[in-house]
Structure 1
């Protein structure tokens, strides 16, 4: 499994460098207090790092679902694809935990645990739905375009469109806490876990 990741990460070099750049920018924004409000920096965190992981897993499994060698790769990946996904998810969430803790240190009061669990549920939901849509369509550009449209609509309406599911926390006034994000967190987690089960059943 680690050999698969090593090969994959070589092909994702540019995306990983971009991710590192965003982390450096985020840490700088937090430490320098570029934003006056903790919720503003947290909204920035959601809108950047949640979609990036979705794109990362699409690139990670691109050859498994959208190339002529998919049939052969199914035998190679059998029993490993969902483990690769979980390992990547765990590695991806570690620096996000540090970001949440840093926000809570620089901006008080800010519940870093509530923010981290919400981010985890968003990353899980966004990435599993990305993979399922990609498996159904076998087209990465359409999958990414759909999610760009979704995020654009969410930002444009600031999460007030009644026809969209609101996975992001966009309230700039109510500080992030379990009482404020619990309903979104639980729904994200339920849908994300269902999405993961579907993905696992496909690649198992």
Structure 2
């Protein structure tokens, strides 16, 4: 699925100063009524966003219901964000809601990789740097420069690490299938040569 390349992003933060936010808290199983990537944003953090999940009464104490955070595109959290199940719906719900960057002290491994495959940049920072960002005012604008791997806010700049593979997926707006298809001609050439060298492998196919 081709996406908009992630080169540089500017946005405001919403802070969830909680550790071990799992995928069922991000998108409860009762909210996963589709196998597609859309129609999930309304169920994002449903157990926290709503006083009653049945009639969708907003919880005024939840950060994303605060009008001053309504345009937040960067989520900041504590340790082990996205732990729990491997449900990709958690990332789809965050993306559809408008979250493009998640900053946390650490992530669940599967969730972290699902973010890279689905257009969200997950940034791991030390507890000290994460706490510093959490303490900033809600009016602070953050600029993330992915090619330079720099996070800018105020007069400060923080470098973050990302794998070359994950960076390429985001910068080029690719998912793993898109990336494989970029090598389609090389793959086809390999198969043609291999069929010449080992024709018995391919006889059952024809």
Higher relative contact order (CA 8 A, sep 6+): 1
Asked if Structure 1 and Structure 2 have the same fold, meaning a TM-score greater than 0.5 normalized by the shorter chain, the answer is no
Of Structure 1 and Structure 2, the greater helix share is in 1
Of Structure 1 and Structure 2, the greater strand share is in 2
TM-score normalised by length of structure 1:
0.29
